């Protein structure tokens, strides 16, 4: 099995910047600068500043480069962008080796010395407001918000990263500068580079990052999510799903979610495998039963997400509106079957082989290596650990986990039904 290169180099500069470097036999370099400072670091009245700041960093120029020069630099690099997360801001890239010096020069100056050009700030303000409007204009936006709130309450991962329109509209230059100063420091950043690295890469990193100021590490600590206290069922109208040619063939969207342990728990591997067996691919229980045998859905899937110190499993499908209850009953019946009867060793072995394929495919790209280095640093999980734990999962263990966490029809879960035939 292709594995994470355990010999990848990791070290810190004197100012605290974490650096990870891995060489691969490729013709490109991928990586990203991660700042441990995102939307969850916003204080009251700052909702949206992290996202707004991220936009201005990439387009507003730097101490060294004007906005126009910044545009040309970004246009000459293979790929460079930025996006805001809950607890981090990311500046990913994918470039040719010949451009590594230009990238390090630009990204260090953009992160530490943004120019905050007033014209570009106003331009990005309009763009950010448009992005928020597009998100909130999605027909399912309010329903998704309601679903997440019912499932996780006020847990930090439900925070709306894009921000509030009123805050973005009223944000002043001083607000952006103040927000930037609290989190953009070397001790609060990771730089991960993978690919065809030059021999003097460490000297180049020192040249562009070594003189940058250190500061407070603001890494966000996610609390352990609370258990779901009760069942919640929402039946909401979804007129955009209405089939005007044949109303009785209109499809309703159903999403069923429930809480399970996070990725740091001892049941993590079993939950991953259980999710795949339940609805992870075309050989899954839900796909074979609800699509192939009953014809109640074209597509149906389940997933497990154990990040941010909370675990969630979900099942989602488009089903006939007139048969939504039959479809929901069928989902719970498949979960009940997993509780009653152990899966076969053959089913588990199929998932293990699929996992080996996924890891091998993952490591055919530099981005895959970047992600794996991040995972090892953040939560101590490597592909080797994943497969080791998957290999320990037995049919008995899987049945025990199914019995412990899969809900009954009258159990604790959140069900959102978006129905085109509901008035």
* pLDDT given for residue 362 in this prediction: 85
Helix (H) or strand (E) holding 139: none
DSSP letter, residue 78: S
Given pLDDT bands bounded at 50, 70 and 90, which one contains residue 85? very high
Beta strands in 182-250 (DSSP E): 189-195, 232-237
* pLDDT given for residue 1 in this prediction: 33
For residue range 5-30, what is the model confidence (pLDDT) as tens digits? Answer: 557 899 999 999 999 999 999 999 99
Cross-strand pairs, 254:
317, 417
Query: Secondary structure of the chain: what % helix, strand, coil (to 5)?
Result: 50, 20, 35
Q: Does domain 9-209 have CATH number 3.30.830.10?
A: yes
CA distance 369 to 337: 38
The CATH number of 232-419 is 3.30.830.10
For residue range 285-318, what is the model confidence (pLDDT) as tens digits? Answer: 999 999 999 999 999 999 999 999 999 999 999 9
For residue range 98-149, what is the model confidence (pLDDT) as tens digits? Answer: 999 999 999 999 999 999 999 999 999 999 999 999 999 999 999 999 999 9
pTM attached to this predicted model: 0.93
Q: How many other β-carbons are positioned within 10 Å of the β-carbon of residue 405?
A: 19
Given pLDDT bands bounded at 50, 70 and 90, which one contains residue 382? confident
* pLDDT given for residue 3 in this prediction: 44
* pLDDT given for residue 206 in this prediction: 98
Nearest to 45 by CA among 180, 179, 204, 205: 179
DSSP string, 371-399: HHHHHHHHH---HHHHHHHHHH--HHHHH
Helix (H) or strand (E) holding 291: none
Q: In the chain, where are the structural domains located?
A: 9-209, 232-419
Nearest to 52 by CA among 74, 92, 84: 84
CATH topology agreement for domains 9-209 and 232-419? yes
Query: Positive or negative CA dihedral for 336, 338, 342, 343?
Result: positive
* pLDDT given for residue 101 in this prediction: 97
For residues 91, 95, 101 and 103, what is the CA-based torsion angle, rounded to 10 degrees? -30
* pLDDT given for residue 259 in this prediction: 97
* pLDDT given for residue 409 in this prediction: 96
* pLDDT given for residue 363 in this prediction: 87
For residue range 339-356, what is the model confidence (pLDDT) as tens digits? Answer: 999 999 999 999 999 988
* pLDDT given for residue 65 in this prediction: 96
* pLDDT given for residue 359 in this prediction: 87
Q: How many other β-carbons are positioned within 10 Å of the β-carbon of residue 420?
A: 18
Assess whether pLDDT exceeds 90 at residue 423: no
For residue range 216-270, what is the model confidence (pLDDT) as tens digits? Answer: 999 999 998 889 999 999 999 999 999 999 999 999 999 999 999 999 999 999 9
* pLDDT given for residue 390 in this prediction: 93
For residue range 147-196, what is the model confidence (pLDDT) as tens digits? Answer: 999 999 989 999 999 999 999 999 999 999 999 999 999 999 999 999 99
* pLDDT given for residue 6 in this prediction: 56
Distances (CA, A) of 389 to 265, 267, 381, 402: 12, 9, 11, 17
Query: Positive or negative CA dihedral for 234, 236, 241, 242?
Result: positive
First to last CA, the chain: 54
For residue range 57-71, what is the model confidence (pLDDT) as tens digits? Answer: 999 999 999 999 999
For residue range 187-205, what is the model confidence (pLDDT) as tens digits? Answer: 999 999 999 999 999 999 9
């Amino acid at each position: 099995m292709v594995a994470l290169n355990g010999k990848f180099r990791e070290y810190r500069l004197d100012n605290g910047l974490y650096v990870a470097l891995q060489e691969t036999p490729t013709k490109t370099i991928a990586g990203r600068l991660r700042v441990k400072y995102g939307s969850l670091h916003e204080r009251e009245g700052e909702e949206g500043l992290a996202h707004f700041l991220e936009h201005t960093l990439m387009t507003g120029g730097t101490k060294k480069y004007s906005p126009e020069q910044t545009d040309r630099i970004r246009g000459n690099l293979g790929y460079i962008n930025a996006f805001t997360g809950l607890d981090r801001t990311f500046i990913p890239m994918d470039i040719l080796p010949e451009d590594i010096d230009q990238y390090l020069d630009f990204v260090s100056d953009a992160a530490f010395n943004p120019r905050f050009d007033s014209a570009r700030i106003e331009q990005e303000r309009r763009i950010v407001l448009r992005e928020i409007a597009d998100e909130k204009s999605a027909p399912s936006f309010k329903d998704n918000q309601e679903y997440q709130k019912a499932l996780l309450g006020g847990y930090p991962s439900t925070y709306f990263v894009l921000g509030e329109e009123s805050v973005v509209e009223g944000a002043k230059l001083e607000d952006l500068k103040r927000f930037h100063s609290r989190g953009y420091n070397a001790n609060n950043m990771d730089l991960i580079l993978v690919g065809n690295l030059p021999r003097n890469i460490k000297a180049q990193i020192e040249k562009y990052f070594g003189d940058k100021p250190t500061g407070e590490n603001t890494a966000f600590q996610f609390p352990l999510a609370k258990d779901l206290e009760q069942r919640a069922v929402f039946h909401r109208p979804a007129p955009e799903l209405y089939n005007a040619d044949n109303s009785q063939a209109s499809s309703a969207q159903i999403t069923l979610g429930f809480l399970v342990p996070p990725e740091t728990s001892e049941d993590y591997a079993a939950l991953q495998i259980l999710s795949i067996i339940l609805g992870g691919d075309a050989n899954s229980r839900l796909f074979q039963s609800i699509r192939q045998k009953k014809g109640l859905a074209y597509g149906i899937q389940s997933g497990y997400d154990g990040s941010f110190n909370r675990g969630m499993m979900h099942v989602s499908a488009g089903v006939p509106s007139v048969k939504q209850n039959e479809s929901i009953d069928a989902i719970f019946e498949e979960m009940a079957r997993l509780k009653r009867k152990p899966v076969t060793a053959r089913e588990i072995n199929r998932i293990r082989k699929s996992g080996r394929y996924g890891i091998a495919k993952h490591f055919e790209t530099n981005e895959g290596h970047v992600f794996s280095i991040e995972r090892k640093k953040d939560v101590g999980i490597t592909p080797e650990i994943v497969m080791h734990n998957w290999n320990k999962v037995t049919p008995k263990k899987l049945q025990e986990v199914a019995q412990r966490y899969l809900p009954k029809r009258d159990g604790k879960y959140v069900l959102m039904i978006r129905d085109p035939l509901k008035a």
